[in-house]
Structure 1
Amino acid sequence: MFIQLLSSILFLLTLPFFFLITTKASKSKKPSTAPCPSTVFPKSYPIIGSYFAIKSNRSNRLQWTTRILQSSPSATFTLHHLFGFRQIFTANPANVQHMLKTHFFNYQKGPHFTSSLFDFLGNGIFNVDGGSWKFQRQVSSHEFNTKSLRKFVQTVVDTELHDRLIPMFSAAASDQTVLDLQDILQRFAFDNICKIAFGFDPACLLPSLPQAQFAEAFEDAAHISSERFRAFLTITWKIKRFFNVGLEKRLKIAVSQVRELAKKIVKEKKQELADNSSLESVDLLSRFLSSGHSDENFATDIVISFILAGRDTTSAALTWFFWLLYKHPEVEKEILKEMKEKSNMPVFEEVKDMVYTHASLCESMRLYPPVPVDTKLAMEDDVLPDGTVVKKGTLVTYHPYAMGRMEKLWGSDWAEFKPERWVERDEAGKWIFVGRDSYTYPVFQAGPRICLGKEMAFLQMKRVVAGVLRRFKVVPTVEDGFQPELLVYLTSKMKGGLPIKVEERGEFPYL
């Protein structure tokens, strides 16, 4: 009640001035026969900025900002918040390259971002800048060499696939059980990231589908933390946190549960290293603890950050991929054909060489990127390549979701799911992958902070696709005309999950 009262008082104080300005403006206008300006761009007023437009589009902000960017000549616009605060949105590749590479050190996470996520992510790699980020990235990079990637696919992913996912799908096919594909893939990815990064098996993907308190708490923490960015005034969530009420009370409980398990993982790994000093540092957490940074809170932050990266991104990407595959059987047929051609190859070489499948995943993430928007803070005054003036302290948001929907970048058929835009045939008729630069397609970010796990993510996703499609057909149990809704937290989700039935293919239909 106190929070609502404070917000109402602040807002009401601006209303007299707002109505004075709008009334004077309306009286001074002369009748005109000129065409009205586009209603896509939000109106801005003194003090309150575009408050009304922001409020009315709160539930569909991603689509709203996308429409504005699609209508902007330079694919950039400035959104005016309360009290003169500005936020720049861009879907312009030149601007993205300027932010993420050319002027990398001028566009940082900044205090607004880090304070909003600190309770959840602490000083983990995704919530820091400068020296701490450099150190964490340097240590983490050792986990993404060819040897580690091969081990990841041949042992961790394959074991989870053959021992848990495929038997579960086989049982569901026999019993005609309806599964939530999004939930299954989150469990699969969670087991994988814990095993490869921490040497710990949480066993979330068991036939009983156990209620994982940690997973539920993690979901709650990610959701509520992202809600902090939606607050009109930062002070509102800070006051709620101070009084421990509402969503902030729920966040505190969820974060406590998440950190409890993460600390357990850290303690067990420290004990393992202490008991066997000759043990090779074979996982990410061991490397950090052996690097001299054994502080429990710091190690806990690292664990939580990598769970966020490994669990939510690939599972979101695969959920949307299987939905699009269901809607486009011709793409599924081409993937099956490719799988036939690679079926005699060793597992690691097979997934690396699945060009059309790789293109299909790229196309799926173009339309539904796991991280739809990302925001940086300008540390100094600047000018973007398209001429947009950036003042110190301005938030600048690049928009992968909108960029995947720009006709200037993808052509008039941008709305179509079309893997062929990523491949071409060579003289022998074999598919060759034709990539796009990471500033046109910043799904894995770009520049110095480009995702270290990009190749690992593709290998994992392609192995899942091959393992599942070779045995099963995934059929969503939805009504005709159903269109899933994209939810945006720290990563994207499919609202309500994706209910499916699984059908055994019998003899593998290669053609």
Structure 2
Amino acid sequence: MVSLLMTFLTLSSFTIFILFFLKHKLYCTCDVCHSYLTSNWSTQYNNLCDWYTHLLQNSPSQTIHIHVLANTITANPKNVEHILKTNFHNYPKGKQFSMILGDLLGNGIFNVDGDAWMFQKKMASLELGSVSNAFDNVKFHVESRLLPLLSSVARGKDGGLIDLQCVFRQFSFEYICRFSFSLDLNSLELPFTVSQLSDSFDLATTLSAKRAMSTSPVVWKAYRRLNLGSERKLKEAIQNVNILVEKVIENKKKLGFTKNQDLLSRFMEVSDDRSFLRDVMVNFILAGRDTVASALTSFFWLIMNHPEVESRIRIEMDRTKNRKQDQLATFEEMKELHYLQAAIHESMRLYPPIQFDSKFAAENDALPDGTRVKKGTKVTFHPYAMGRMETIWGKDCKKFKPERWLKNGVFKHENPFKYPVFQAGFRVCLGKEMALMEMKSVVLGILTRFKLRLVKPDGELRFEPALTATVKNGLPIIVGERRVASH
């Protein structure tokens, strides 16, 4: 009883402090801040990112300020280049960012700066640089796991109904564990199923992202201290994730390892710190699982709404030589699929897996568009909004048009600061080529064998608040098998 009373009094004190803090420190009367605090933006826009896009489209400098968040948000390519390259050292992740994601990501590569980041980047690049080696793992998971699952669903009693986003999350989760840790999740003894473990990752990333949307860290810190609400759920989800991590590290130590075996083995060669190894694993699972699953979900939603694009992909696919119709293209053949490459890039232009990314200014600065940035300000560049800017992509910027990436039928890259889907500059994504290869393999495998149809073909994608773009309520589809003729 005394414990309950103390908890109540502590929570009440925190609540009073929070209300006082918000009133006197974060109060702003401008329309933008009022709309954010009251969620009035949701009466006109399905997603927060769509509202930000609207504000950025109507800003002469393509830069806006959300005062209550102390956040400067930009969709200006020159500003993005300044943040990610020209004045890179003034825009680290920062302690504020690391604090928000610290419980989940720890001191992993995506949550640190300086020497710690540089060391992990160097180690990871040794493993992620060999895309051809990764192809064998992708091919195994597509042919042995993904396609048999979809075939079973197509013939099942539910009439081919399945949540495609859930399928891609499971697929990419199992693949990244096999590639990075030589781990077959289906062979590991765990106190829960693989899908439950995947759900724990979902919950942990979603709740961590909600911390970032808070107007003050005081709120979530209070709930974490008292182990209440979303912070209690986050703690439980991370505990489940840590069970997997401990199992993998323990197995590695028992079985032995060499530095050329996989990503985890490389790190274990230089460190036996379990906390550090845990952080390495969680960061690469998160990056390899969520981003690819998000990109594939949006891609298939787009081509199911644009059958002419699917048709062109299939025509290009059928032109590849030396294979039967039901076989995956080889790694070398995939390099020649320029239209598929264009369609994937165009999909991520409209629906980037990471919709926005933030840094914190270490010192006072001025962006190329003239925006003054004070020390400690959160500075966000917004790939989602940038993909919808007429000043960057032209008047047809909202149209799904893979052809914009082709020149005389050959895929052409864009300026990475105009298209920062894989970041750019010094923090450019190490796994970019591997992720593109994985996506191509999945697309070719599915389109060769199956016909997909949306359960609800109308409407727009709605996203949950998360670290990566997560479609609200999933992507329910009907899957049916194609008639495959051998050559």
Secondary structure of 1:78 counterpart? strand
Secondary structure of 1:88 counterpart? strand
Aligned to 1:128: 112
Aligned to 2:263: 284
Aligned to 2:31: 43
Aligned to 1:160: 141
For 1:404 and 1:424, how far apart are their aligned partners in 2? 20
Query: Which residue, 96, 113, 117 being the options, matches 2:101?
Result: 117
Distance 1:351 1:99, change over 3 A: same
- 1:260 correspondence with 2:243: yes
Task: Return the offset for 1:58.
Answer: 7.1
Secondary structure of 2:379 counterpart? strand
Task: Return the offset for 1:163.
Answer: 1.0
Aligned to 2:378: 395
Aligned to 1:295: 273
**8 Å contact from structure 1 (residues 57, 64) kept in 2:** no
Aligned to 2:474: 497
Task: Return the offset for 1:7.
Answer: 2.9
Task: Return the offset for 1:52.
Answer: 4.8
Residue identity over aligned pairs, in percent, reads 43
- 1:306 correspondence with 2:284: yes
Aligned to 1:418: 401
Where relative contact order (Cα < 8 A, 6+ residues apart) is larger, the structure is 2
Query: Which residue, 79, 87, 91 being the options, matches 1:103?
Result: 87
For 2:234 and 2:451, how far apart are their aligned partners in 1? 39
**8 Å contact from structure 1 (residues 372, 488) kept in 2:** no
Task: Return the offset for 1:507.
Answer: 3.9
- 1:150 correspondence with 2:127: no
Secondary structure of 2:155 counterpart? helix
- 1:183 correspondence with 2:166: yes
Distance 1:476 1:508, change over 3 A: farther
Aligned to 1:339: 317
**8 Å contact from structure 2 (residues 259, 266) kept in 1:** no
- Could you give the per-residue CA deviations for residues 253-275 of structure 1, whole angstroms, max 9, x where no partner exists? 111111121122122112222xx
- Could you give the per-residue CA deviations for residues 392-445 of structure 1, whole angstroms, max 9, x where no partner exists? 1111000000000000111111111000000122xxxxx201221110000000
Please, what TM-score do these two structures have when normalized by structure 1?
0.86
Could you tell me which amino acid in structure 2 is paired with residue 43 of structure 1?
A: D
Task: Return the offset for 1:174.
Answer: 1.9
Distance 1:242 1:477, change over 3 A: same
Query: Which residue, 45, 48, 53 being the options, matches 1:61?
Result: 48
For 1:52 and 1:189, how far apart are their aligned partners in 2? 37
Aligned to 1:173: 154
Aligned to 1:437: 415
Of 171-180 and 69-78, deviating more is 171-180
**8 Å contact from structure 1 (residues 172, 501) kept in 2:** no
**8 Å contact from structure 2 (residues 62, 76) kept in 1:** yes
Divergent runs of 4+, >4 A: 11-15
For 1:265 and 1:215, how far apart are their aligned partners in 2? 15
Secondary structure of 2:186 counterpart? coil
Rg: which structure is higher? Answer: 1
**8 Å contact from structure 2 (residues 82, 368) kept in 1:** yes
For 2:79 and 2:428, how far apart are their aligned partners in 1? 16
Task: Return the offset for 1:509.
Answer: 12
Distance 1:384 1:393, change over 3 A: same
Gaps of at least 5 residues in structure 1 are 23-41, 45-49, 426-430
- 1:212 correspondence with 2:216: no
Distance 1:170 1:10, change over 3 A: same
**8 Å contact from structure 2 (residues 160, 480) kept in 1:** no
**8 Å contact from structure 1 (residues 181, 499) kept in 2:** yes
Aligned to 1:77: 64
Please, what TM-score do these two structures have when normalized by structure 2?
0.90
Gaps of at least 5 residues in structure 2 are 1-10, 324-328
For 1:159 and 1:382, how far apart are their aligned partners in 2? 49
Count, aligned residues: 461
Could you tell me which amino acid in structure 2 is paired with residue 94 of structure 1?
A: K
